[in-house]
Amino acid sequence: MSKQTRISRKTVKDIAAAKGGEPLVCLTAYDAPMAEIMDPHADLILVGDSLGMVVHGLPSTVGVTMEMMILHGQAVMRGSQQAFVVVDMPFGSYETSEDQAFLNAARIMKETGCQAVKIESGAYAATQIAHLVERGIPVMGHVGLRPQAINVDGGFRAKGRTGSERDIVLNEARAADRAGAFAIVIEGVARDLADEITAEVSCPTIGIGASASCDGQVLVTQDMLGLFDWAPKFVRRYGDLRTDIDAAIGKFAADVRSREFPGQAETYSLRKPDAKQP
């Protein structure tokens, strides 16, 4: 590719510079075709561990493995050119120690080529974030509703709606910011708490079920496109692809059973022999 046509990816500095400015656009992607479609529109693409539920049909994100994250991360990198790509670190890959976190984060970055990793920021997270950043790995934090903690929380529920929860979430966001996170996802929290976090931390915040005042917004793409019967309260559906796909598959099935497909346009015929040369 020539220098004139080369497309440069956004960098950590580009994301950090968006603090307080035009909101950042972030969506999830798990494969190359979807990444290619959203790449011109998105500032960040998140290869979320939500792929366990969205793609693999798992009941939660807890069962997602390093191998799954790397495989999907590689696909998204192949499909995108300009967006900043972040890959989730799966449950059990970073909580135990700083060294565990670094070795797994380094593996993800080396094997996918992504620009950053994301970890769910419990009380332990600040130490791991600082350790990774000091060693050259950009880290996105994640506070509020943390899907990897579903077994402790007893399900997916909004956070920060009581005084004690509010203090926990706010302190986790402060700690992640001080540790060097370049951005923080705020998921499923009371709107005024998201506003307070966004005003207080120095890095951009990316909201999902949080507040329009966050420095950016992210949704699971399949939720936004209407591929599932149910979606969380905070999802706005911008499409109804489940209905469209169901109709297309139903039409295909009907055409096959009636022998309307394939037709002449979709089949091949014997080539005419080449004319003999004199």
Q: Is 10 annotated as a binding residue?
A: no
Q: Is 120 annotated as a binding residue?
A: yes
Reported as a single tens digit per residue, the pLDDT across 148-197 is: 766 666 555 666 667 778 999 999 999 999 999 999 999 999 999 999 99
Reported as a single tens digit per residue, the pLDDT across 10-35 is: 999 999 999 999 999 999 999 999 99
Reported as a single tens digit per residue, the pLDDT across 65-115 is: 999 999 999 999 999 999 999 999 999 999 999 999 999 999 999 999 999
Domains and CATH numbers, the chain: 12-239 (3.20.20.60)
Q: Is 118 annotated as a binding residue?
A: yes
Q: Is position 187 annotated as part of the catalytic site?
A: yes
Distance CA 90, CA 85 (A): 16
Catalytic residue among 187, 196, 200, 260: 187
